[in-house]
Structure 1
């Protein structure tokens, strides 16, 4: 038996008036997800423990069986692992977004989805002005900052404060002075940078500065094979997920055309997942697009992302002797454009059958799995 989890980041939502009181999952045409629910079993999953921010870092660690209360140190070090950055003693890695702030308001947490090449050019010039603080370009707006002799800071994810005045959300605590200095330097360097001049001329949003958040030291995860006795792999275009995979000793499966945005190649991910199951026991296929649409507040794009993911799931369902689970990691409701900690729906094909007739938030509440804690999901999935 082989196993696959198909995770649509942020798919879960709330009933929306513009969808006739239905959620995007209820409104979307998703025959393959509905088949998994109808021919399998459903339930609800609590992916964010009490006291934790509802981020993809905490939620995906939980789903992969790693309790954040003992394994989570911050998002930054997980992304550092994906980028091959080995944090030294006393160093902390912070996620470092390229953002657009105008008039003191967080206008855009991703600087108009700036390209990776443009971001690298901006960070190259910033790096020369930062001394022993190091910045590493990643994918699009998602970058990394490593602070030596760090002690930590209280920070806020920029996607949580879109449209709000940033003053009350600036870093505080021991490392605040260092982070604020880096932010100020970036503002001066980016103000008339050639990259931003070109972006303005093309009618695109310029990156006005960096925004560091979710710092932490290098965590330690029990190897996945040691934990479950199975060989696992991860498919994702997001450094966070690939970092978790590396720290857990799982294979990072690269897929051409995977972008971490709405234009990702859904079907290529599914084909690579099916191929990987010829050599692995378990594949975790992560798709970021529904979450991005949620942060944009776009109902249309969220429904479209969910439907495109469903089409790709058909490729996976054609593979015999495979237990298939589908779920989001957390809700990203259109109403608030950010994550919430509410339990999420999940469905499993290959572990019996219950009375659920479709895959949705309301149907999953009726499922026979009931309400589960996320770190228990893989043990359930792998059980005989």
Structure 2
């Protein structure tokens, strides 16, 4: 038996007035998801354990079959693994966003800064910002900072996408030598970045400058059982997002590179579908992740969110379902967490989940959305049990 999990990041939502009290999932043209719901079993999955933050790192770790209460150490180490940065046990790895700010956080991704521009800015920080730590370039605004010292894991900094529009000085860390140093780095980056050629050129092109860094999501290197030993399956991930790739590295999954996959609204959905379909021949387990609905949710753009859901359905899920006919196969489709367009950030609510394929008994659900699945036979499950349920149902 082969197993596929397709995650539409942030796909779930709340009813919206502009959609006549419906959600984007209810409005979207998604025949493949609806057909799977009708042919399979549905329910809700609690991907974020009570009391933990509704981050994509926590939620996807859960969906991948690892209990976050046991295995989660922070977002930064996952990004480190993705870009090949080895961490010692004493290292704290921070996610380093390039942001746009004045007295407030204006934009948590600096107008989705291009990777080449970001790399040049990160290199300049290593040269001119005084710290015993080191910055590493990643993808676009998602970069990395690593520093040695146990006290750095206790520094509290909120994710920048949760505080857009908020005053900077309300959210800067402080209260310990380590927190003070992180605050000094964040504030000290402004003078260096604002005068940089890259940002002058961005302004000339009508783009927001990346005029500050925001350090957050730090943690130490996690210790995870290899997926193959835990579940007896040879697996792979397909994603453009560093933290998902990092989870794959620590779990011993193969990260399959897809040209044109950007982790944004312009991602190449067709390429993701093609690569996922081809990977079924070699792998017993596929974790396919598409970031676009989450980006639309953060932007508060309902039309883009509907479009992203439809593209996932038509070009990713449709291609996977065609390939599945060649194998004994089961598939689950779900978000990792909701990212409601009115809230513009993640919430920890349980997510709608489909489980379909060979040997799965259909229930009474006829369409896939946040409300229909509540009548399904799966009930409410803990997220880290999904693979176990897929294998034993």
**Fold match (TM-score > 0.5):** yes
SS for the counterpart of 2:132 is: coil
Kept in 2: contact 1:155–1:172 (CA 8 A): no
Judge conservation of contact 1:73–1:218 (CA < 8 Å) in 2: yes
> Does the Cα contact within 8 Å between 1:91 and 1:146 map onto a contact in 2?
yes
- Aligned mate of 1:368, from 368, 372, 377: 377
Contact 1:273-1:283 within 8 A present in 2 as well: yes
Query: What's the CA shift string for 1:196-243, capped at 9, x where partnerless?
Result: 101111111111100000100100011000000111110110110000
CA–CA separation in structure 1 for the residues paired with 2:88 and 2:2 = 38
Q: Which residue of 2 aligns with 1:105?
A: 104
Q: Which of 317, 320, 326 lines up with 2:321 in the alignment? A: 317
1:357 aligns with 2:366: yes
Q: Tell me, what secondary structure is at the counterpart of 1:372?
A: strand
Aligned residue in 1 for 2:121:
122
Query: Is the 8 Å Cα contact of residues 74 and 217 (structure 1) preserved in structure 2?
Result: yes
Q: Deviations over 1:308-356 (max 9, x none)?
A: 0111211111121321111000000011100000000011112210111
How much does 1:173 deviate?
5.0
Partner of 2:311: 308
Partners of 1:28 and 1:365 in 2: CA distance: 19
TM superposition shift of 1:147: 1.1
**Aligned equivalents of 1:13, 1:99: Cα separation in 2:** 26
Q: Which residue of 2 aligns with 1:377?
A: 386
C-alpha spacing 1:37/1:172, structure 2 compared with 1 (3 Å): farther
Matched ranges for 1:192-341 at <5 A = 192-312=195-315, 313-319=317-323, 320=325, 321-341=328-348
1:29 aligns with 2:29: yes
**Counterpart in 2 of 1:154?**
156
Structure 1 Cα separation of the partners of residues 375 and 2 of structure 2 = 27
In structure 2, distance between residues paired with 1:198 and 1:260: 24
Contact 2:89–2:221, Cα closer than 8 Å, also in 1: no
Encode CA deviations 1:150-179: one digit per residue, 9 max, x unaligned: 422011000001112122211245421221
**Partner secondary structure for residue 100 of structure 1:** strand
In structure 1, distance between residues paired with 2:170 and 2:187: 16
> CA separation in 2, counterparts of 1:69 and 1:114?
34
Q: Does the alignment pair 1:52 with 2:52? A: yes
Q: Structure 1 unaligned segments of length 5 or more: list them.
A: none
Between the aligned partners of 1:172 and 1:144, the Cα distance in structure 2 is: 20
User: TM-score, structure 2 length as denominator?
Assistant: 0.96
Give secondary structure in 1 for the equivalent of 2:371. helix
Aligned-CA RMSD value: 1.0
SS at match of 1:218: coil
Give per-residue Cα distances to partners, 1:90-112, cap 9 Å, x unaligned: 2100001001112x211100000
Separation in structure 2 between the aligned mates of residue 378 and residue 145 of structure 1, nearest angstrom: 33
Answer yes or no: is the 8 Å Cα contact 1:73–1:217 preserved in 2: yes
Determine helix, strand or coil for the equivalent of 1:92: strand
Asked if 2 retains the 8 angstrom alpha-carbon contact of 1:154 and 1:173, the reply is no
- Once structures 1 and 2 are overlaid, which stretch shifts more, 116-125 or 142-151? 142-151
Moved over 3 A (4+): none
After TM superposition, list the pairs within 5 Å mapping 1:170-189 onto structure 2.
Answer: 170-172=172-174, 174=176, 175-189=178-192
Aligned length: 383
Q: How does 1:80-91 map to 2 (within 5 A)?
A: 80-91=80-91
Deviates more, 1:157-166 or 1:109-118: 157-166
Distance in 2, matches of 1:171 and 1:185, equals 14
Q: Is the 8 A contact 2:82 2:243 kept in 1?
A: yes
